[in-house]
Structure 1
Amino acid sequence: MALDPDAFTRCDRSAVWPILQQRWSEAGRSFDLRQAFALDPDRATHFAIEAPHVFADLSKNLLDRETRDLLVELARECGLPAQRDALFGGEALNLTEQRQVMHWLLRVPPVSAAWRPSGLDRLGAELAEVHATLDAMLAFAERVRADEAITDIVNIGIGGSDLGPQMAVLALDTCAQPQRRRLHFVSNVDGHELDAVLRGVRPESTLFLVASKTFTTIETMTNARSAREWFSAQGGRDVARHFAALTTNVEAARAFGIDTTFGFWDWVGGRYSMWSAIGLPIAIAVGADNFRALLAGAHAMDAHFATTPLERNLPVQLALLDIWYRNFHGFSSRSIAPYHSGLRRLPAYLQQLEMESNGKRVDRRGEPLPFATSPVLWGEPGTNGQHAYFQMLHQGTDVVPVEFIAVRDAAHALPGHHVQLLANVLAQAQALMLGKEDAGGHRHFTGNRPSTMLLLERLDPASLGALVALQEHRVFCSGALWGINSFDQWGVELGKVLAKDLAPRLESGDTEGLDASTAMLVRRLHG
């Protein structure tokens, strides 16, 4: 059943929206964190939330309890609980493509658990397919892990078929096998990337994974064909043994020479697909048990999101904070600062998750929106970012909310490093809030700059799964409040269509019918 776009109130049409505008005018724009802590000694406790594997300190954000209560009322008036139920009920939330949105089904355990999504009552066949595919994929991963002849795995994909697996493999490096097996990720159609990987591998010891749902993605298939040509030119034999496909287009994969395929479904969006067969490189890196732990951590966050009251629901509270900052304070970006080297690709992963989902200018009915939607996400791991862009965060003219992510326990034994890392993440959040007076101006820090702190006890498969699911649900909530379709991505299509026309023109030099700028550039590049 498709979601009725008229069944829910868009945020700006709710009764509480003008009250929130007044609240921002009277108290929000002049809110001072230092004064808030002075007036409420228990503020830190009041704004702390414990979710599965993730502890959140929201106290350094620019809102008080009254504003938070109004934002929760906004969620209720917009029907967020009912929209959440529709998600877990398996309704077709992707209206422009008439598709269900059920990435959460990929992490439902096969046997009874403490919480079972309501949609399972009619999704038994789909769940059985999920676990059949999962079992087959993990069995293949274990065979690859046991194969001493395979030393290198090259994952060829782009977007969700690259960002999620790459991010997770890096994050779970300490769970991986000894370094005798290397994983490489190729996504860019720029041949320099693939060439750099191929120069370091041998055909007889390399397994290529071609990740494309339709087996037609132009960047992925260009790289895959070049990899196959290299494989043959270097004396490689048996394409079927050295290539596997993560796709639903089994016939196209077979025509390519691939016999081993693992599929997924139309109700799995690319940026939500690391839990599916697209996660094969993760499973090869960390093993079947750890991959199941990744799914379990995400499922635990699903249960928290589905059952926890809005006031203590971490995905909901983060989304409401995003609405408050984007639509009332006017903050146009958010910086992601993971203080763990393993999470160095998390900012890039979250960029696709949020900006591809919520970078929309029309609502579900196609009507132009009178307010801003997705902020720009950006960031680097700490402490590297401190020596790059933190100058702007502290003393620049724009206020940029920062989302810090810290991990309590280190997975290494090097003395002194981890305490310095944790001291830095705490100090940066503290400095953003407190600031520093300087009459000369150059060393003056205004302070009162907001941040959120997300704490993990350790970075392991379960906590990573919970952290990623938390961000998925946060994006869903903000999109639901804005009344947009968070699950299509038409914005990536136009450039692809134009590129198909321009590629032969670059070969021939033909510029007929092109705009003057593009024609000039084609002539220079053709010459």
Structure 2
Amino acid sequence: MKSDKEELIRLADKEEKFYDVLSYEDDKFKIFSKCVNLNKEVLEIFNNVRSDRNILEDFKNLFSGEKVNGSEEKSVGHHKYRSTSFKKIIDLASKIKRKLKQRNFKNIVIIGTGGSIEGNRVLYDSFYGNSKKEFNFRFISGSDKKEFEEATESLNKEETCFFVVSKSFKTAEVLFNLDLAKKWVPETHMKSFWGITSSKEDAISNDLLSDQIFSFPDDIGGRYSIWSEVCLPLLIELDSSFVDFFKGGGLVDELVLKEKRFLKFLIKLSIIDLWNSNFLGKDNKVILSYSWKLRNIPNYIQQLEMESLGKPPNSESIFEKTGQTLYGGYGPKAQHSIFQLLNQGTSQTCADLIYISESDNLNLAQVNSSFNLFTDNENEKDDILSVNSNIPSTIFEIKTLDPFSLGMLLTIFEHKVFISSRFLKINPFDQFGVEKGKKKTMELLESFDSS
């Protein structure tokens, strides 16, 4: 009798055929997926590997405070903000806003990197243009001082404050830009700095004022920190109207535990990725947003998935490959670059396409033609315009972009990643590869400084 892995290999090797694998719709989303050779037989074998019941228990453990981050012996707490904890952040943002206005600050510069800044970028892109724009925002995240200079060159120093966001307050890029900022502002203006961290003492040791430091718990990873105090700078602008963002994420948490149909939908999203990478050889995934407002969401998802699933394989798992390589960007721009590779190149890729129902006809035509070219086996193969049509694809249609739907969308991706980690038997909440890179950077920096 063949093992589950052998059966999956056999089914993957059959003549290539696209199946309508997934179709889900509610009042916020319509999600549809086509995948090669992923049929009911494949889904049944995945259920043997880890059943719906097992995965439901996994979520119960996550939400109840079990130490699901085993390598660091921690529970995971970011989901708590999606239930009731968000109220304290909304109130805190209102208090900070009053202080900023009293001091006549008009510019907010956010210093951070990775998860400490990507969440704020997504919120800024999605909703900042809808507000009255009481503050101007700048983002600084890298280690080239030209970025700092360009971000601040047109700003009035007396009207500018900095939010320094770092879980450890030891990240090299953050401290580098903090040092530049302290030299840029008037000497007496440490009141221009606000810290958001899990390590208050380290923030104080870098000259930040104790009463201008806001802490979040150590059990919140950077790539999940959009739900925490990390998003305070944007909430200052977006205000209490943004409570629906947390409620949208909270609804997804609720549905996972209470609605079998919804849990099955999330499990299928995970299976699609694992099937594509482990059995179809699709090691790459392109994420394309056809909404200008969501142009940076591929970067957010890239960090979420690659940092969470980019781990060594577990020898006890049937899966030899863990996370995929993710890339992408703004869909209409990709039409003139990435699509040549996808349609006629040799890259082994699958795709996620994201768009908003309320789009111009050209936008709708682009996203739907792309999906059809990627997945239509009937496309002609005999002339110079022939295309591969071998790219398993999922369309995420957002009916209206609002805080509630964005909260739902990000939590859907987050939970899909968690489910994949359960199949793979890996920890999605640590990041020792990142830590190794940071350590090596600091060692070299110290040697450069001493030479």
TM-score over 0.5 (shorter chain)? yes
Q: 2 CA distance for matches of 1:190 and 1:507?
A: 17
The 10-residue stretch of structure 1 (467-476 or 142-151) with the greater mean CA deviation from structure 2: 142-151
Which has the larger Rg? 1
2:254 to 298, 303, 310: 303
- 1: CA distance, partners of 2:63 / 2:446: 46
Runs of 4+ in structure 1 off by over 4 angstroms are 144-148, 366-370
Shift of 1:347: 1.2
1:314 aligns with 2:299: no
Partner of 2:110: 155
> In the alignment, does 2:200 pair up with 1:250?
yes
1:261-313 CA distance string (max 9 Å, x none):
221101111110011000012202322221x1110111111122222326763
Change (3 A) 1:257 1:102: closer
Q: Residues of 2 paired with 1:56 and 1:144: CA distance?
A: 43
Q: CA deviation at 1:463?
A: 0.9
The Cα shift of 1:60 comes to 5.3
Deviations 1:412-453 (A, max 9, x none): xxxxxx11111110111012222632534x322232432110
* Counterpart contact for 1:160–1:274, Cα < 8 Å: yes
Partner in structure 2 of residue 186 of structure 1: 140
Task: Specify the alignment match of 1:398 in structure 2.
Answer: 347
Whether the 8 Å contact between 1:355 and 1:377 is mirrored in structure 2 is yes
Shift of 1:333: 0.8
Query: Is the contact between residue 133 and residue 263 of structure 1 (CA under 8 Å) also seen in structure 2?
Result: no
2:324 match: 375
Amino acid at match of 1:72: N
Residue 437 of structure 1 corresponds to 380
Aligned length: 447
Query: Deviation at 1:455?
Result: 0.8
Distance 1:372 1:146, change over 3 A: same
Match of 1:328 among 265, 279, 288: 279
2:129 counterpart (148, 171, 174): 174
Q: Give 1:360's match in structure 2, choosing from 290, 311, 331.
A: 311
- 2:375 corresponds to which letter in structure 1? M
Structure 1 vs Structure 2 CA RMSD: 2.5
Report the 3-state secondary structure (helix = DSSP H, G, I; strand = E; otherwise coil) of the residue aligned with 1:387.
coil
Deviation per CA, 1:55-107: give whole Å up to 9, x if none: 21124554233333433343308932221221111101111111101211111
Q: Residues 14-413 of structure 1: matches in 2 within 5 Å? A: 16-25=4-13, 27=14, 30-33=15-18, 47-50=22-25, 53-59=28-34, 62-76=37-51, 79-109=54-84, 130=85, 133-143=88-98, 149-178=104-133, 181-232=135-186, 237-240=188-191, 242-255=192-205, 256-258=207-209, 259-290=211-242, 292-309=243-260, 313-363=264-314, 371-410=320-359
Structure with greater strand percent: 2
- The code of the aligned residue for 1:264 comes to F
Q: Distance in 2 between matches of 1:368 and 1:323?
A: 12
Maintained 8 Å contact 2:35/2:272: no
The 3 A distance-change label for structure 1 pair 61 and 207 is: farther
- Select the residue among 409, 417, 429 that pairs with 1:487: 429
- Whole-angstrom distance in 2 between the partners of 1:320 and 1:78: 15
Q: Alpha-carbon deviations, 1:199-219, whole Å to 9, x = none?
A: 121221112101122322222
Going from structure 1 to structure 2, the CA distance change for 1:323 and 1:96 (only over 3 Å counts) comes to same
1:505 and 2:447 correspond: yes
What CA deviation, in whole Å up to 9, does each residue of 1:362-407 have, x standing for no partner?
A: 43xx989860110001101111101111011111112311100110
User: Which amino acid in the other structure matches residue 241 of structure 2?
Assistant: D
For 2:309 and 2:381, the matched residues in 1 are separated by 40
Deviations 1:456-491 (A, max 9, x none): 111111111111111110111101110001110000
- State the alpha-carbon separation in 1 of the partners of residues 391 and 442 from structure 2: 46
Q: TM-score, normalised by structure 2?
A: 0.92
Q: Does the CA-based 8 Å contact 2:90-2:239 persist in structure 1?
A: no
Taking structure 1 as reference, are residues 497 and 63 closer, same or farther at Cα in structure 2, changes over 3 Å only?
Answer: same
Q: Where does structure 1 lack aligned partners over 5 or more consecutive residues? A: 1-13, 37-42, 110-129, 411-417, 510-527
In structure 2, relative to structure 1, the CA distance for the partners of 1:445 and 1:257 (3 Å cut) is closer
**d(CA) in 2 for partners of 1:465 and 1:439?**
45
From 420, 438, 447, the counterpart of 1:478: 420
Instruction: Determine if contact 2:93/2:233 at 8 Å carries over to the other structure.
Output: no
Kept in 1, the 8 Å contact 2:90–2:235? The answer is no
Distance 1:311 1:66, change over 3 A: farther
Contact 1:339 1:382 in 2 (8 A): yes
Letter in 1 for 2:389: G
Q: From the superposition, tell whether residues 156 and 478 of structure 1 become closer, same or farther in structure 2 (CA, over 3 Å).
A: same
Distance between the aligned counterparts of 1:505 and 1:220, measured in 2?
19
The Cα of 1:144 is off from its aligned counterpart by 5.9
Letter in 2 for 1:344: R
Secondary structure at the residue paired with 1:401?
strand
The answer for unaligned runs of 5 or more in structure 2 is none
Report % sequence identity. Answer: 28
- Seen in structure 2, the aligned counterparts of structure 1 residues 395 and 423 have a Cα distance that, compared at 3 Å, is same
- Alignment check: 8 A CA contact 2:89 2:232 kept: no
Amino acid at match of 2:355: A
Q: Counterpart of 2:153 in structure 1: which amino acid?
A: R
Residue deviations 1:313-357 (CA, integer Å, cap 9, x gap): 332211011111111112101100111011111111111111111
What is the TM-score normalised by the length of structure 1? 0.79
Inter-partner Cα distance in structure 1 for 2:33 and 2:56: 22
Is residue 168–residue 199 contact of structure 2 (8 Å, CA) maintained in 1?
Answer: yes
In the TM superposition, residue 51 of structure 1 has moved relative to its aligned partner by 5.1
Helix, strand or coil at the partner of 2:355: strand
